[in-house]
């Protein structure tokens, strides 16, 4: 069963985020707190939305998908960015991942979104094989750019103040 996440799901979502981070060999980077997730998913202005996959027989939470809307200047329309898709190891191969993606695809169609996009680690062959079996187009010519930590702070410090002209670069 696939359903929208509720406030009561936040602790389990946080646990699964850490499980996903461990699988992706980056557990130390998964620092989101339960309070941050509550605000992001259920605050006055949600930043993201989540779906929960439950085992049909036991009702146990076996996975989740977390997404947010994005905008394309090329199409002039909104789209969907899938931040996380995770199915617990014992439930993989049972159709939960496909059901989560199909539910998100249906949300895209209902919402008039033209694109449904996400990233996958280049070494995650099982995920890549799964995605390509669904007809996903892998965009090898694009690179993800990330600015964080010290470089983000340094660049932000160079921002012109309101009313000042931009310099250089």
pLDDT tens digit string along 98-138? 999 999 999 999 999 999 999 999 999 999 999 999 999 99
* C-alpha neighbours within 13 Å on the C-beta side of residue 76: 0
| pTM higher than 0.85 | yes
Domain span including residue 51: 2-140
Total domain count for the chain? 1
In a domain, 159, yes or no: no
In a domain, 53, yes or no: yes
In a domain, 162, yes or no: no
- pLDDT > 90? residue 15: yes
118, containing H or E segment: strand 116-118
In a domain, 147, yes or no: no
CA distance 71 to 114: 10
CA distance 153 to 96: 40
At residue 167 the predicted structure's pLDDT band, cuts being 50, 70 and 90, is: low
At residue 146 the predicted structure's pLDDT band, cuts being 50, 70 and 90, is: confident
Residue of 64, 86, 113, 131 marked catalytic: 131
CATH number, residue 103 = 3.40.630.30
In a domain, 153, yes or no: no
pLDDT tens digit string along 49-85? 999 999 999 999 999 999 999 999 998 999 999 999 9
- Residue pair 47/32 in contact by the 8 Å Cβ criterion: no
Q: Is 131 a catalytic site residue? A: yes
């Amino acid at each position: 069963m696939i359903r929208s996440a509720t406030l009561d799901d936040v602790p389990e979502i946080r646990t699964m985020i850490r499980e996903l981070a461990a699988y992706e060999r980056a557990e130390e980077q998964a620092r989101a707190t339960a309070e941050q997730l509550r605000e992001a998913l259920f605050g006055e202005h949600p930043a993201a939305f989540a779906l929960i996959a439950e085992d049909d027989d036991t009702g146990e939470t076996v996975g989740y998908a977390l997404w947010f809307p994005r905008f394309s200047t090329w199409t002039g329309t909104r789209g969907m960015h899938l931040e996380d898709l995770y199915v617990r190891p014992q439930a993989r191969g049972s159709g939960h991942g496909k059901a989560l993606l199909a539910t998100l695809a249906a949300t895209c169609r209902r919402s008039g979104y033209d694109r449904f996009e996400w990233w996958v680690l280049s070494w995650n062959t099982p995920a890549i094989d799964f995605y390509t079996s669904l007809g996903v187009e892998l965009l090898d010519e694009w690179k993800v750019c990330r600015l964080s930590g010290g470089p983000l702070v340094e660049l932000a410090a160079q921002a012109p103040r309101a009313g000042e002209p931009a310099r250089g670069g």
